[in-house]
């Protein structure tokens, strides 16, 4: 598809949808937990959440059939995770911990990604969710000191705690998506209100607020991208519009996402008149306002 994009007109206010990171976890907990917890969320939801919902429906139908027939020679279900790495990795941990027989599948690209051996926190989150649902202490799960995306592990623990102590939970807004509009406001010099974000959230990407301040206060920045991998693309854009140079490092694992998220931002920036270079585990960007081009 070809589309010409002119300078956009920013609105004064944006309302972000619910966090898929939060909702994945809540829906899985709700589906398998012995206690009843009402989980609510705002529409619309993306394809990854739809994949999780369909997989949970398939598992429920399978478990209902097992219960009604009271025998175990029913074929194990196949769960189509589509292109959602979260769905695959979370459900792998949960079904293993609960001893539920099933086959996990998805797109060719997804299978390549989950079998690549690239470091991710999602397998560990699946283990934490499964441990809780099996009635065991989640503190028994060992978290490596050098764990990438550790903020997502903290988020998982926080959601389990809230789920365990509440009868109803509403999925909060997505800081990863909110970051897009916060950065848009920052580089345009306009005040942009972003609503449906919780200041007390355990979502790691809430760090975008502090990072925007960092860009305004200093011209030389070194940022550990492993702490907030989902922010790396939009931080790259922010770096292009900021004075000085920015190095985002410790991001080799981003080369194994749906796309190579080290090369993709650099290529986009360079094609639009900016200046970005990459290494094995970093991207360096020189502040140079983008002038336009073809991407």
Nearest to 91 by CA among 61, 125, 126: 126
Please confirm, yes or no, whether 48 is among the known catalytic residues.
Answer: no
From the list 48, 80, 205, 230, the catalytic residue is 230
The Cα-based distances of 195 to 7, 46, 155, 182, 260 in angstroms read 23, 19, 20, 11, 30
Strands 13-15 and 193-195, by their bridges, are parallel
Rounded Cα distance between 124 and 120, Å, is 8
SS3 157: helix
Which H or E run contains 239? Answer: helix 232-240
- State the greatest distance between any 2 C-alpha atoms of the chain, in Å, as a whole number: 68
For the chain, where are the E strands, in sequence order? 13-15, 38-40, 78-80, 103-105, 168-170, 193-195, 220-224, 245-249, 275-279, 282-286
- Is 141 in contact with 128 (CB distance < 8 Å)? yes
Q: Annotated catalytic sites, by residue? A: 230
């Amino acid at each position: 598809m070809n589309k010409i994009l002119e300078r956009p007109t920013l609105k004064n206010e944006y309302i972000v949808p619910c966090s898929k990171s939060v909702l994945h976890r809540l829906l899985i907990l709700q589906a398998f937990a012995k206690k009843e917890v009402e989980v609510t969320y705002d529409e619309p939801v993306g394809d990854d959440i739809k994949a999780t919902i369909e997989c949970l429906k398939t598992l429920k139908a399978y478990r209902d059939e097992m219960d009604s027939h009271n025998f175990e020679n029913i074929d194990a279900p196949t769960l189509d995770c589509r292109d959602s790495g979260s769905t695959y990795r979370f459900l792998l941990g949960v079904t293993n911990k609960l001893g539920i027989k099933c086959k996990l599948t998805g797109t060719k690209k997804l299978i390549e990604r989950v079998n690549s051996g690239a470091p991710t926190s999602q397998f560990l989150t699946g283990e934490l969710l499964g441990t809780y649902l099996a009635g065991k202490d989640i503190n028994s799960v060992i978290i490596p000191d050098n764990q990438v995306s550790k903020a997502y592990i903290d988020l998982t623990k926080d959601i389990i705690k809230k789920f365990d102590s509440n009868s109803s939970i509403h999925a909060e807004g997505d800081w990863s998506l909110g970051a897009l509009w916060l950065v848009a406001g920052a580089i345009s010099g306009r005040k942009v209100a972003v609503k449906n974000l919780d200041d007390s959230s355990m979502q790691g990407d809430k760090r975008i607020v502090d990072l925007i301040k960092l860009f305004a206060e200093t011209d030389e920045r070194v940022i550990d991208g492993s702490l907030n991998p989902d922010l790396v693309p939009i931080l790259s854009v922010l770096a292009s519009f900021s004075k000085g140079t920015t190095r985002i490092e410790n991001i080799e694992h981003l080369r194994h996402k749906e796309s190579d998220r080290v090369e993709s931002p650099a290529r986009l920036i360079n094609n639009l008149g900016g200046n970005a270079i990459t290494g094995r585990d970093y991207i360096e960007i020189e502040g140079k306002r983008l002038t336009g081009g073809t991407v």
